């Protein structure tokens, strides 16, 4: 590996069980994510996709009852939430929270400085990259002066989440339904920006119900989550099959499989 080659990262999930309010939602998830790959997780409503994302980020509502998650060999589940973020894990929320009085620009700079020191921070590059990503997403510069997510439309909130990902440049980014509630133009803008942000040093997981955003992000691999476990995996052609046939055939196959 030469000096210009970014380090390779892995996120390994083994037999992950998670419950919410005493009800088991994840029932033994196994998968691996790698830097340089763009992966999709698909599945019907209630299959556990968002539970997977929140459990990895450490939301207290989601109780891990069994299993292991290793980020570059380190026990992710033993880390507090802020340490998981500092280690390079990013979560783009399905329903981002509003924060009155905190401008988007201030929020992004503060988050950026959490990943840098005074020696490694580069304000000029930060500003140039921000302008570039705003342009990709079809967002005006004036957007940065608005309070975080306050009064944002659904599309603006999703764009702001992707903007945060671009600013933080995480090791692994999990985007929970970034296409939810968006019209086709917004889906295209978000999807194409996510695809531009893919590089050898980052692994991206896009969680979605539908194939439409996958036309723009073009995942390397797809995991299908059904009833709290990975039921199927494959290449990007799998998304087209799911779009055409739905998820019932996957469920039927699980029921027909021998114990």
Could you tell me what percent of the chain has a pLDDT over 90? 43
Kindly report the average pLDDT of the chain as a whole number: 87
Q: Indicate the class that CATH gives domain 10-256.
A: alpha beta
User: Which of 1-5, 77-81, 136-140, 250-254 shows the lowest per-residue confidence on average (mean pLDDT)?
Assistant: 1-5
First vs last C-alpha separation in the chain: 45
Judged against a pLDDT cut of 60, whether residue 1 lies above it is answered with no
The pLDDT value recorded for residue 221 is 94
| pTM score, whole prediction | 0.85
- The half-sphere exposure of 254 on its side-chain side, counting CA atoms within 13 A, is 14
The pLDDT value recorded for residue 258 is 42
**Cβ pair 190, 137 in contact under 8 A:** yes
Q: What confidence tier does 65 reach under pLDDT thresholds 50, 70, 90?
A: very high
Average pLDDT over every residue of 101-129? 85
Could you tell me what percent of the chain has a pLDDT over 70? 94
Q: What's the rounded Cα separation, in Å, for the pair 109 and 168?
A: 9
- The half-sphere exposure of 116 on its side-chain side, counting CA atoms within 13 A, is 16
- Domain ranges, ordered by start, for the chain: 10-256
Judged against a pLDDT cut of 70, whether residue 254 lies above it is answered with no
Judged against a pLDDT cut of 60, whether residue 256 lies above it is answered with no
pLDDT in tens, 9-46: 999 999 999 999 999 999 999 999 999 999 999 998 89
**Cβ pair 167, 108 in contact under 8 A:** yes
> Rounded to whole angstroms, what are the CA distances from 229 to 16, 24, 49, 179?
9, 11, 9, 23
């Amino acid at each position: 590996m030469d000096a210009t080659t970014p380090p390779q990262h892995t996120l390994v999930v083994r037999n992950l069980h998670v419950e919410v309010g005493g009800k088991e939602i994840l029932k033994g998830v196994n998968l691996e994510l790698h830097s340089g790959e763009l992966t999709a997780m698909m599945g019907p409503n209630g299959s556990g996709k968002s539970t997977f994302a929140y459990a990895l980020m450490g939301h207290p509502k989601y109780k891990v009852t069994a299993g292991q998650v290793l980020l570059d060999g380190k026990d992710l589940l033993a880390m507090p939430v802020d340490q998981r973020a500092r280690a390079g894990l990013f979560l783009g929320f399905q329903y981002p929270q509003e924060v009155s009085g905190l401008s988007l620009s201030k929020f992004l700079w503060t988050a950026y400085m959490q990943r840098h020191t005074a020696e490694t921070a580069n304000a000029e590059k930060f500003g140039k990259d921000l302008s570039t990503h705003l342009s990709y997403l079809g967002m005006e510069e004036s957007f940065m002066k608005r309070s975080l997510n306050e009064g944002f439309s659904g599309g603006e909130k999703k764009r702001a989440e992707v903007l945060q990902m671009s600013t933080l440049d995480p090791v692994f980014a999990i985007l929970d339904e970034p296409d939810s509630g968006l019209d086709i133009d917004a889906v295209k803008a978000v999807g194409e920006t996510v695809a531009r942000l893919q590089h050898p040093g980052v692994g991206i997981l896009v969680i979605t119900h539908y194939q439409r955003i996958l036309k723009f992000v073009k995942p390397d691999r797809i995991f299908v989550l059904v009833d709290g476990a990975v039921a199927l995996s494959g290449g990007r052609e799998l998304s087209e099959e799911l779009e055409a046939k739905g998820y019932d055939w996957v469920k039927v196959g699980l029921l027909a499989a021998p114990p």
